[in-house]
Structure 1
Amino acid sequence: MPRGSYHRESNEQSLGDAIQHFINAMGLRPKMIEAEIIANWEDIVGKMIAKHTLDLSLNKKKLTLRFDNAALKQEMSYAKSKLMENINNRFGKEIVDQVVIL
């Protein structure tokens, strides 16, 4: 093979594919999705709601939220469907199928 040229064998995979395989094999995908939701929470719900969010977690498609404001907690309980829709649309697949507000 000439110097500087590279031929990839058919059984090799790209680095990105290898990383994705590793993430899936190690069971890290759900935590990565949760981390992405946390990192983008302000973009998903807006600055005011994000500011009053005390905790959020995602476990088996169940998003659990805790707020520091009773009125906001009540408002968000009415907006569960819209929140699920926004998150699922952002990811392009069903990530959340239940929202629990504590």
Structure 2
Amino acid sequence: MRRSNTQSLAEALRSYIKEMRMERKLKEVDVVQSWEEALGKTIARYTRNIYLSKGILFVEVSSPVVKNELLMMREDIRKRLNDLAGEEMVTKIVFK
């Protein structure tokens, strides 16, 4: 006997993610993964250990010169990342 309540795999995954309240965490992962796209490969080479916690993006920078440049561009970077995410995910950026 066939079930009439069939849905696609994509729909099932979306409803599961929504039920488990994982949307916010998945968007946080997307923001971290879009770091290279937002800033380019050159800057991404000097950064590591990028993570987002409670709206604060933490970035470890290996070069003091690059860190200084990023500090001056902090607000622009935050806006770019939020634009890529489609909503306000990053409220502050901390460079270490």
Scaled by the length of structure 2, what TM-score is found?
0.78
Contact 1:30 1:59 in 2 (8 A): no
- SS at 2:88's partner residue? coil
Q: Does 1:75 align with 2:75?
A: no
Give the letter aligned to residue 61 of structure 1. Answer: G
- Residue 82 of structure 1: CA displacement? 0.4
Point out 4+ residue stretches in structure 1 off by more than 3 angstroms.
12-18
Q: Taking structure 1 as reference, are residues 60 and 20 closer, same or farther at Cα in structure 2, changes over 3 Å only?
A: farther
Equivalent of residue 49 in structure 2, options 31, 47, 55: 55
Equivalent of residue 84 in structure 1, options 78, 84, 95: 78
Rounded to whole Å, the distance in 2 between the matches of 1:13 and 1:96 is 34
Q: Does 1:22 align with 2:16?
A: yes
Rounded to whole Å, the distance in 1 between the matches of 2:87 and 2:7 is 25
What is the count of residue pairs matched by the alignment?
95
Structure 1 unpaired stretches of 5+: 1-7
Structure 2 unpaired stretches of 5+: none
CA deviation vs aligned residue, 1:20-67 (integer Å, no higher than 9, x gap): 332243343343223323333221111111011121001121111111
Give the letter aligned to residue 57 of structure 1. Answer: Y
- Residue 85 of structure 1: CA displacement? 0.4
Q: RMSD of aligned C-alpha atoms? A: 2.5
- Larger relative contact order (C-alpha < 8 A, sep ≥ 6)? 2
Which residue in 1 is equivalent to 2:31? 37
